[in-house]
């Protein structure tokens, strides 16, 4: 495949994110059809619909690039380029009427030397606030077109830290002691329910750190690049399970002070 224009791809990703966001807003007060509900999560018919709309828009411009999404995969995930999409990040919030959810879209390229993909660009769109974060690798993270940067808070006692964790027994046993320790050391803890927005908030300085022991690639692909391009640190080693990671995103001043290694094992 010929080299993809990142500026052209960003335009397409923004258009797709806005289209999915409009669907979210248009259906905000309507009954939601549930495809799957368990003790830990909810999947809506609307998630699938939004992903299909995103894929359709992206394929108009880039018909050969496969897509890895929370609601399914189309194409070869080992191809040179791939889209990584979370059509509604924060579905549980959305279902229960909490207006904290977003669309996340990233474009990745395979680095043959390392046999892994790197994110070339990212878009995160909050349809409830109208906020659009965008980034192209090598450039600057922007919020509605204006450059943003991570916070400069370096004292642990001043830090506002977001944390997320699934409700599996194993994860709770590992995560809750760390939550207890963090709560005693930092200024405030936030558990907000949308990984993409938490990453965007770190990138623009609203939060100082976001940590999660197990998280999916589509939750972090766009936001991780935003952290790096706004002066922060994004640490996300792979874990067991395809497209699964441990993750710490911060302003570059706090991770080592908080010693979160045990949480990420």
Which structural domain, as residue segments, surrounds residue 108? 6-147
pLDDT band at 16; cut points 50, 70, 90? very high
Same domain? For 179 and 95 the reply is no
Say if residue 263's pLDDT is above 70. no
> What is the rounded CA–CA span in Å between residue 222 and residue 110?
15
CATH number at residue 68: 3.30.540.10
Longest CA pairwise span in the chain (Å): 52
Q: What is the mean pLDDT of residues 15-29?
A: 97
Last residue of a domain, one of 99, 114, 147: 147
Same domain? For 141 and 215 the reply is no
Same domain? For 168 and 109 the reply is no
Same domain? For 133 and 172 the reply is no
Q: What is the mean pLDDT of the chain?
A: 92
For the chain, percent of residues with pLDDT exceeding 70 = 95
- Residue 262 confidence (pLDDT): 65
Do 118 and 108 meet the contact criterion of CB atoms below 8 Å apart? yes
Do 125 and 19 meet the contact criterion of CB atoms below 8 Å apart? no
Same domain? For 162 and 142 the reply is no
Strands (E), the chain: 34-37, 42-44, 67-69, 72-74, 81-89, 102-111, 116-126, 131-136, 142-143, 146-147, 160-164, 188-190, 209-216, 233-235, 244-250
- Residue 65 CB-density burial (10 A; 0-12 exposed, 13-18 middle, 19+ buried): buried
- Residue 177 confidence (pLDDT): 82
Last residue of a domain, one of 119, 147, 175: 147
Other C-beta atoms closer than 10 Å to the C-beta of 160 total 18
Do 8 and 61 meet the contact criterion of CB atoms below 8 Å apart? yes
Give me the number of domains the chain comprises. 2
What's the Rg (C-alpha) of the chain? 18
- For the segment 234-260, what is each residue's pLDDT rounded down to a tens digit? 998 888 777 888 899 999 999 888 877
> What is the rounded CA–CA span in Å between residue 22 and residue 37?
24
- Residue 150 confidence (pLDDT): 98
Do 68 and 82 meet the contact criterion of CB atoms below 8 Å apart? yes
Same domain? For 79 and 165 the reply is no
Same domain? For 17 and 142 the reply is yes
Residue entry with tokens 């018909």: 63
Nearest to 218 by CA among 81, 21, 84, 41: 84
pLDDT band at 211; cut points 50, 70, 90? very high
- Residue 28 confidence (pLDDT): 95
Backbone angles phi, psi at 217, to 5 degrees: -55, -40
DSSP character at residue 55 = H
Q: What is the mean pLDDT of residues 12-22?
A: 98
Same domain? For 104 and 161 the reply is no
CA atoms lying within 13 Å on the CB side of residue 214: 14
Residue entry with tokens 């549930």: 34
- For the segment 123-178, what is each residue's pLDDT rounded down to a tens digit? 999 999 999 999 999 999 999 999 999 999 999 999 999 998 876 777 778 778 88
- For the segment 95-129, what is each residue's pLDDT rounded down to a tens digit? 999 999 999 999 999 987 767 899 999 999 999 99
Same domain? For 140 and 165 the reply is no
> What string of DSSP letters covers 97-127?
T----EEEEEEEEEETTTTEEEEEEEEEEET
pLDDT band at 264; cut points 50, 70, 90? low
Say if residue 40's pLDDT is above 70. no
- Residue 224 CB-density burial (10 A; 0-12 exposed, 13-18 middle, 19+ buried): buried
Same domain? For 45 and 22 the reply is yes
Same domain? For 16 and 108 the reply is yes
> What is the rounded CA–CA span in Å between residue 46 and residue 166?
22
Last residue of a domain, one of 99, 119, 147: 147
Same domain? For 138 and 19 the reply is yes
pLDDT band at 191; cut points 50, 70, 90? very high
Nearest to 29 by CA among 92, 95, 86: 95
């Amino acid at each position: 495949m010929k080299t993809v224009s990142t500026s052209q791809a960003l335009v397409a990703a923004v258009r797709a994110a806005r289209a999915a966001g409009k669907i979210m807003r248009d259906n905000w007060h309507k009954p939601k059809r549930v495809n799957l509900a368990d003790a830990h999560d909810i999947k809506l018919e609307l998630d699938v619909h939004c992903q299909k709309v995103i894929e359709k828009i992206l394929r108009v411009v880039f018909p050969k690039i496969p897509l890895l999404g929370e609601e399914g995969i189309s194409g070869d995930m080992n191809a040179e380029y791939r889209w990584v999409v979370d059509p509604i990040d924060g579905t549980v919030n959305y279902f229960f009427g909490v207006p904290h959810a977003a669309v996340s879209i990233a474009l990745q390229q395979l680095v043959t030397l390392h046999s892994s993909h790197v994110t070339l660009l990212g878009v995160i769109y909050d349809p409830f606030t109208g906020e659009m974060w965008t980034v192209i690798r090598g450039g600057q993270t922007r919020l509605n077109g204006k450059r943003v940067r991570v916070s400069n808070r370096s004292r642990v006692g001043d830090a506002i830290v977001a944390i997320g964790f699934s409700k599996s027994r194993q994860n709770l046993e590992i995560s809750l002691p760390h939550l207890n320790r963090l709560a005693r050391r930092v200024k405030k803890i936030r558990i907000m329910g949308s990984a993409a927005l938490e990453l965007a908030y770190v990138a623009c300085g609203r939060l100082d750190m976001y940590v999660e022991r197990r998280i999916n690639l589509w939750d972090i692909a766009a936001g991780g690049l935003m952290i790096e391009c706004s002066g922060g640190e994004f640490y996300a080693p792979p874990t067991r399970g395809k497209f699964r990671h441990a993750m710490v995103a911060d302003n570059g001043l706090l991770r080592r002070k908080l010693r979160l290694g045990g949480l990420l094992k």
